[in-house]
Amino acid sequence: MHFKHTLLLCLLSTLAACSTISKNTSSDWLLIDDFENSLSKWQSVDTQNETKPQVKNPQITVIQPEQATTSTSTSTSTNHYLLKKPARDGIVGNRKALSYTKLPQAVEVGQTYTFYIRINVAAFPNNHAFGLSNLTPELINKHAYDAFEPTLRVTDKTESNGLVNDGALMVKIGNGYSNIQNYTTKQSAKPLQTNTWYDVWYVVNNAAASKQGQQYDVYVKGGEFKEQTLVYKNAQFRMKREQPLIYFLANCNTGPIKKPYGNGGLRYDDLYMSKGTNLNNPML
C-alpha cells in the first residue's frame, strides 16, 4: 500500500507539472513587435559595407502590407510584416546588414524563455540569421555574427569548405550549423518553401553551461510540418557568454563581391516572448 501511495503521489506531481506548462496562454506572451506601427524601436546599421561603387546604407529593412484572410471568416484584413534584405537586387558587397531591437524583458542567467516568430522566405539565394544577443548596440555593431547567442539561419550559400546549404532552417551547433530535423523520417528537414509562413518556437535555456544551459530547443509548424513539431533538441548558444539576453538581432549579407550569395529577402512577423516553456500560439 505504501508503494502504491508513493506511486500515486509521483503521478499526481507529474500531472501537476505538465498542467503548469499547458496553462500558459496567449496572455502570457510579451510582444516584441508585430510591425503594425513604425520601426522606431529598431536600429539598422551596415557595419561592413564593401559595395563598389559604394551605396550608402544599402540594406532594405522596411514594413510591408499583405492581405490576410482568417481561417474562420471570408473577410480580409491588412497585416504588416518586416522585410529584410542586405541590399537592393543587383547590389552586392554588403557583408553585415544588422537590425536589432531591445527585448521588453531581459532573460536573466538561469532563466528559460520561449520565443515565437513567424518567418517567410521572399526569395533565394540568400544568407540570413536571426536570434538573441546579450550585448549592447555598440558591441553588436562591433561583433556582428559573434553578437548572437541562440541563432536560427536561412541560407542556400556554399560554405568555404565546399558544403552547399539547401535552404532548410538551421540552428547553431559547435563551430558550425545544422539543418533542423524531421525526426519522424529520420532525415534533415526539407528546404523552406518561398512565400510560405512558418511558425517557429525556440525555447531558450539561459542557465550556465555547467548546469546544462546555453542551449535551445526549436519547434516548427509549416511546410512539411503540418502540426507543431520538435525539430531540434539542445542546439547551442554561439558564444556562451552566460549573460542576460537583451536584444533580438537579425543579420544578413550579400556575400563578397567576387562570389556573392545573393540578396533574397526574409520576412519577419509577430515576435513574442514568454517566461518558461510555452508552446501555445500567441496569435490564437
Q: What is the pLDDT of residues 77-110, one digit of tens each?
A: 899 999 999 999 999 999 999 999 999 999 999 9
Give residue 26's pLDDT band: very low, low, confident or very high (50, 70, 90).
low
pTM of the entire structure? 0.90
The residue among 18, 85, 27, 25 whose CA lies nearest residue 58 is 85
Q: What is the pLDDT of residues 121-137, one digit of tens each?
A: 999 999 999 999 999 99
pLDDT at 21: 41
Q: Rounded mean pLDDT of 18-45?
A: 81
Residue 67 has pLDDT above 50, yes or no: yes
Q: Rounded mean pLDDT of 225-250?
A: 98
Q: Cα–Cα distance between 117 and 214 in angstroms, integer? A: 20
Contact 161, 170 (CB under 8 A): no
Side chain identity at residue 15, one-letter code:
L
Residue 232 has pLDDT above 90, yes or no: yes
Q: What is the pLDDT of residues 165-208, one digit of tens each?
A: 999 999 999 999 999 999 999 999 999 999 999 999 999 999 99
The residue among 284, 131, 103, 261 whose CA lies nearest residue 203 is 131
Residue 14 has pLDDT above 70, yes or no: no
Residue 112 Cα distances to 32, 66, 121, 174, 244, angstroms: 17, 33, 28, 21, 11
The residue among 37, 102, 35, 92 whose CA lies nearest residue 59 is 92
Name which residue leads in pLDDT, 1 or 160. 160
Buried b (16+ CB within 10 A) or exposed e, 30-44: eebbbbeeeeeebeb
